[in-house]
Amino acid sequence: MPRLTRWFLRSGIACLLLSLALGAWPVHAVGTPRWLASSWPVQLHLLTFGWLTQVTFGVAWWLFPRAGSVSSRHEAAMWLAFGALQAGLLLRVIFEPLGVVVPAAAIALPVSAALQFTAALAFAIAIWPRIRAR
């Protein structure tokens, strides 16, 4: 299994655990902090983007057919996808709930959005040449 795949899978599992931990919290209980009570978008994105999509990225990089050796440019694009995905998710996990309490914190969200878009685009560029008919 390639090193990139191992990192994607490890990070994906961490996101799954974090999402489940957030989901287990009784958000409607009296006394729950406002930032935690409104954290469901973060929980959902940890599950769909952090877990499902990230594991898909990693497994696709491992299993999709290789035409000879993978070029270093495509591997670099895949590392960019990995880094941008982690940074984008991290910013979102911190600043989206924080923005409920401190509105100024929401200023980080466009950066998070740009990073997540970069991750999707970089993955598409990295994997595209490996999707072809025999």
Partner 1 sequence: MPPISVRLIRTALLWLVAGAAIGGIALAAPGAAGPGWRHAHAEIMLMGWMVQLVLGVAYWILPKHAGGAERGSVALAAGIHPLLNGGVVLAVLAWLLAWPDATLLAARGLQCAAVIVFVLVGGPRIKAFGVGRARPGQPA
Chain contacts with partner 1 (rule: CB under 8 A): 48, 52-53, 56, 65, 92, 109-110, 112-114, 116-117, 119-121, 123-124, 127-128, 131-134
Class of residue 126 by CB neighbours under 10 A (exposed 0-12, middle 13-18, buried 19+): buried
Closer residue to partner 1 in complex, CB, 25/128: 128
Distance of closest approach, residue 28 Cβ to partner 1, in angstroms: 22
Closer residue to partner 1 in complex, CB, 12/32: 12
Distance of closest approach, residue 126 Cβ to partner 1, in angstroms: 10
Distance of closest approach, residue 113 Cβ to partner 1, in angstroms: 3
Distance of closest approach, residue 53 Cβ to partner 1, in angstroms: 8
Closer residue to partner 1 in complex, CB, 76/124: 124
Closer residue to partner 1 in complex, CB, 22/55: 55
